[in-house]
Amino acid sequence: MIIIGELLNSTREGIRRAVGECDAALIKDLATKQQAAGAAYLDVNAGAFAEREIEQLEWMIRTVREATALPLCIDSPKPEALDRGCAIAGGSLIVNSISAESERFQSVLPIVKQYNTGVIALAMDDAGMSNDEDTVYNVACRLAERLMAEGVAPERIFLDPLVRPIGANSSYGRLALNLIRRIWDTFPEIHRICGLSNVSFGLPKRRILNRALLILAMASGLDAAILDPLDAPLMAHLKAAEALLGYDDYCMNYIAAARSGAFDGID
Ligand code: THG
């Protein structure tokens, strides 16, 4: 499982305050902790700052870079922010995100090509997000095919069904799971990704839902996730699911995690 740490996101109150006050220590601490917990990428999002987004994103990236050289996932709908982020971050990168919306596709694709990045591809187009599974599936397929036709190798593409809160519509969990499975069947070389924490907005005890979604989505073919790597039970269940699905020969990783103390306090 490719883990993208979600915690450096300015829509989170603590991060918004830290960025607003230039609290570099807090940002660096969260970068280091997510890396130690197993993140392969750190998502960096300054979207809460609207017209100052680019400037604040730049500060966040430079600050993270003082703590770690870990690959970053630059998270913004704005091509200008993605471009600046890629230019200053260096190293291996994921652009988060492109979609089949015509303007966004046209403006984000050159960034993916120029910096040779991975790219998260959201299954939405100019009509927005449909609730009809076949419609979303067709948008996802068209988007994947267009990216590959443009020379983006399938291993660089992360298709995202864009999980929405089940509190808003009880079919959104099943919809995302079915899409992950169908995308996996159609394009086995393209990664399947989602943001777990979206699913639980507005509901109590959100982590319970996020953890359950991870297991279900892994069974459906999820191989990358934007999540909170500091949620120890989530990470423990991730390792258990990898072992149960046959991705962990002789359960070596599971056993190593248990021995390292990563499961301490989890019964
Ligand atoms: N797909 C892609 N990118 C994404 C998402 C996705 N980026 C953003 C998001 N979804 C994933 N990241 C988060 C980060 C925080 C929260 C949810 C998803 C979250 N924040 C709480 C809130 O806003 O209420 C605050 C939590 C806190 O303060 O600790 O839930 O799906 N490609």
The answer to whether 79 and 108 have CB atoms below 8 angstroms apart is yes
Residue nearest to atom 6 of ligand 1 (CA): 195
Of 113, 116, 121, 114, nearest to 96 by C-alpha is 121
The answer for 60, left when phi > 0, alpha when psi is -120 to 50, beta otherwise, is: alpha
Pocket of ligand 1 contains residue 207 by CB under 6 Å: no
Q: What number does the ligand 1 atom closest to the CA of 162 have? A: 31
pLDDT in tens, 95-106: 999 999 999 999
Question: Best mutation site among 4, 7, 9, 124 for ligand 1, i.e. most ligand atoms within 8 A of its Cβ?
Answer: 9
CA 209 – ligand 1 centroid, Å: 14
Structural domains in the chain plus CATH codes: 2-239 (3.20.20.20)
Confidence of residue 171 (pLDDT cuts 50, 70, 90): very high
Q: How many CA atoms lie within 13 A of 159 on its CB side?
A: 37
Q: What is the pLDDT of residue 194?
A: 98
Confirm or reject: Cβ of 120 under 6 Å from ligand 1.
yes
Q: Residue 152: pLDDT band by 50, 70, 90 thresholds?
A: very high
Provide CB contacts within 8 A for 112, sequence distance 6+.
95, 98, 119, 152, 156
Hey, is 122 helix, strand or coil? Answer: strand
For helices 232-244 and 206-220, the axis angle rounded to 10 degrees is: 20
Q: What percent of the chain has pLDDT over 70?
A: 100
Best mutation site among 6, 129, 158 for ligand 1, i.e. most ligand atoms within 8 A of its Cβ?
A: 6
Question: pTM surpassing 0.95?
Answer: yes
